Structure 1
Amino acid sequence: MDTAHPIQKPVASASRSALFTPLDPELLTVRAGLMDFVHRRLEPPDLQDCAPQGTEVTDTDPRMMYHGELLPVSTPDVTRGLKDARRALRTNRFRPAGKRMSMIIDGCAGKTTLLLQIARAYQGILELERRPDDEWTPVVYINVPPRHEHNLDWSLPFADFFDMDHTINLDKRTYRSTDMTEPVVHAMRESRTSLILIDGINRIHDNDLAAAFDYFDCLQARLRVSIIYCGRGATDIVNEGLHNRRRGERPRTSEQFRSTLPVMWIRPIPFSKGEEEDWRSVLLRYDENLRLYNHVPGAEALLEFEEELHERTGGYMDTLDQLLCQTAQQAIEDGTEAITKELLDDMLVGRTDSDDDWS
């Protein structure tokens, strides 16, 4: 996994139009969508190839679309998380027997970003060894639906990922699903799946934890896969699911049952005295990624607003990204073509003061 540019994987066949095609987040939970994400290449547009300054543009103009997403910026926590995941997954790959170690992503907004960067970087490494084909699926990504109570329900998100038909009586007003565990296990075994990403683990209700983690444990027992759990409060949720679901008569005094999985934390970036470097490095990366006619990438213009930006966002990357993307698009629309205090002050992003709430 390349921690310097962890999610930019060159794709020789990518066309210019493909570089600016928005990605439907819902498609990540199906194989084709995740594969598109893994292989998608995002590049900043060259201003020489764009509409001349002063030209009225629409929302689908390449620069408008690019500044709606921007190149991803890795924070210190994301960089560290990628490094930790690389080490664990590399070791897991070569274990001939036994359950592979799972991991957890917890903290503030930005957890899914790290999860998907791990997916792209991990598959990128594997593709150095094997050319992709229509069957090979090293990574499976599911987003936890609101409620599940038994194995039948838990098999369905995995079946949906592989585009399996799991319903019967489709010609009637009502239909029901069937347990897809066996077809799912067969599909993952045949497609050489080695990493399962489970996002939104916080949506599992307390009374569903036993069924959920019994199911995940079953998949790991039958397949040589690593699992990364991601969600708000995931550390407590996963440890509760893994340990306290044990039958009462089973011993729970050994170190095995007290241990916890390694956690990759995503935290707000501080900007207190003596801790300014990380925040400034993030702003410099955004500065380099902007493509505005009156902005010089690398000229450190965003550092002029470093205090205001931290006060507006609290150091949360999701809010900073939204604020800068909105401001850049507005600068294109009104012809300002630069990030200014007036434009920043005019943006509404929802977080105005720093706080300690990671929810």
Structure 2
Amino acid sequence: MPTTHTSQSPVTLDVAPAPLYRLLDPDLLSTREGLMDFVHHEPKPPDLADCAPSGTKLPDTDVRMMYHGNLPCVSTPDVTRGLLDARRTLRTNRFRRVGKRMSMVIDGCAGKSTLLAQIARAYQGLLENERRPDREWTPVVYINVPPRHECNLDWSLPFADFFGMDHTLNLDKRTYRSTDMTEPVIHTMRESGTSLICIDGIDRIHSNDLTKAFAYFDSLQARLRASVIYCGNGAVDIVEEALRHRRHGERPDQSEQFRTTLPVMRIRRIPFHEGQQDAWRTVLMDYDKNLRLYNHVPGAGKLLDFDTELHARTGGYMDTLDQLLCQTAQQSIEDGTEAITQEGLDDMVVGRGDLEDDWA
């Protein structure tokens, strides 16, 4: 997944975004050790004084090459707003003594997973301000929808994997069979104080599996009294369809007039219309500050010279902007330019209409 960015540092949950190069690696976030590493690790941009001199032929694994391959997160208005909305909902959920805690939904364009990861990090950071973490305490569980999810047996496995539980039985020393891990998972989450479950990639749930999947998630939520955030392409429609199936046979109520009864956090592309240029230019300035190139002065605003062109080429989508700037920065290191230039940008192909129509 791409990295999404916003216009000002999201301090709504008292923890700033983590510029972690492996930010959205599913294998990182969907294990307890990986999520803890993401929560606590805050790498700094490389210091040019400690790097190889300009013009040095560098391998792809050079620290500056890797750094510019995944620049630190900056903020977009939608991520900032999403963190604020999540803080308010989770704060209320924490102190409800009875009844179900409110679930939330993240929908929209590329960047949804980044918001989900930042909420997970910020929520745990907030709780760590109240108590010292230990090896057992796990307030946040983060899973990705697995490729197989047809019954409770399958749905328990990503939760078991998160905690590193062995869920296979060796039948004849050659064949392995997974076993239902629901009860061990619930016991572990209770003992470790889990209060937030983040479920990414719900668009991978097949339509005929929705009822079973959400019945399972609802059962976990009810037994643990945890908050749940669902994230994925078309998440609003997916979640609401699942809820409609679960309400089948119940007496219709006033809520049927609404598209969804849950809070929705949306990620949208950033506009660049007359009178709406500030958010886009702020994002470019944040990128500008993060670049570590020998012929670039961080924070001097050089990227603002390309604001109109960059928006035209990317459409305001942060995944495309990130790819374009990362590629151009890496190439500038390789060819010795050491700056974002017009020629460098023109030489990059990253999508959003970059391909010519006259291939013939």
Q: Give the TM-score, by structure 2 length.
A: 0.90
In 2, distance between residues paired with 1:207 and 1:240?
11
Q: Report the equivalent of 1:12.
A: none
SS in 2 for 1:244: helix
In 2, distance between residues paired with 1:236 and 1:23?
24
Q: What letter is aligned with 2:293?
A: L
Q: What letter is aligned with 2:16?
A: P
Q: Structure 1: any 5+ residue segments left out of the alignment? A: 10-18, 354-359
Aligned counterparts, 1:182-331, within 5 A: 182-248=183-249, 250-255=250-255, 260-331=261-332
SS in 2 for 1:26: helix
SS in 2 for 1:338: coil
CA distance 1:256–1:351, change in 2 (3 Å): closer
Aligned counterparts, 1:75-114, within 5 A: 75-114=76-115
In 2, distance between residues paired with 1:320 and 1:83?
24
Deviating more after overlay: 34-43 vs 166-175:
166-175
Q: Report the equivalent of 1:123.
A: 124
Query: What whole-Å deviation, never above 9, does each CA across 1:252-291 have from its counterpart, x for those lacking one?
Result: 2253896510100000111122211111111011011111
In 2, distance between residues paired with 1:171 and 1:240?
42
**Contact 1:31-1:162 at 8 Å conserved across structures:** yes
Q: Identical aligned pairs, as a percentage?
A: 73
Q: State whether structure 2 residue 351 is matched by structure 1 residue 350.
A: yes
Q: Report the equivalent of 1:160.
A: 161
**Contact 2:150-2:212 at 8 Å conserved across structures:** yes
Cα offset for 1:189?
0.3
Q: Report the equivalent of 1:2.
A: 11
In 1, distance between residues paired with 2:115 and 2:255?
30
Cα offset for 1:20?
7.0
Deviating more after overlay: 251-260 vs 23-32:
251-260
Q: State whether structure 2 residue 347 is matched by structure 1 residue 337.
A: no
State how many pairs are aligned: 343
**Contact 2:24-2:113 at 8 Å conserved across structures:** no
CA distance 1:23–1:269, change in 2 (3 Å): closer
Root-mean-square deviation (Å): 2.0
In 2, distance between residues paired with 1:202 and 1:64?
33
Query: What whole-Å deviation, never above 9, does each CA across 1:196-243 have from its counterpart, x for those lacking one?
Result: 000001111111010011001101110121000000000010011122
Cα offset for 1:23?
8.0
Q: What letter is aligned with 1:184?
A: V
Query: What whole-Å deviation, never above 9, does each CA across 1:62-113 have from its counterpart, x for those lacking one?
Result: 2111111111011000000011111111111111221111100000000001
In 1, distance between residues paired with 2:119 and 2:175?
40
**Contact 1:147-1:205 at 8 Å conserved across structures:** no
SS in 1 for 2:353: coil
In 2, distance between residues paired with 1:22 and 1:207?
32
Q: Give the TM-score, by structure 1 length.
A: 0.91
Q: Report the equivalent of 2:6.
A: none
**Contact 2:21-2:71 at 8 Å conserved across structures:** no
Q: Report the equivalent of 2:358.
A: none
Cα offset for 1:186?
0.3
**Contact 2:255-2:261 at 8 Å conserved across structures:** no
Q: Structure 2: any 5+ residue segments left out of the alignment? A: 1-9, 355-360
In 2, distance between residues paired with 1:147 and 1:234?
19
**Contact 2:15-2:125 at 8 Å conserved across structures:** no
Q: Report the equivalent of 1:40.
A: 41
Aligned counterparts, 1:42-57, within 5 A: 42-57=43-58
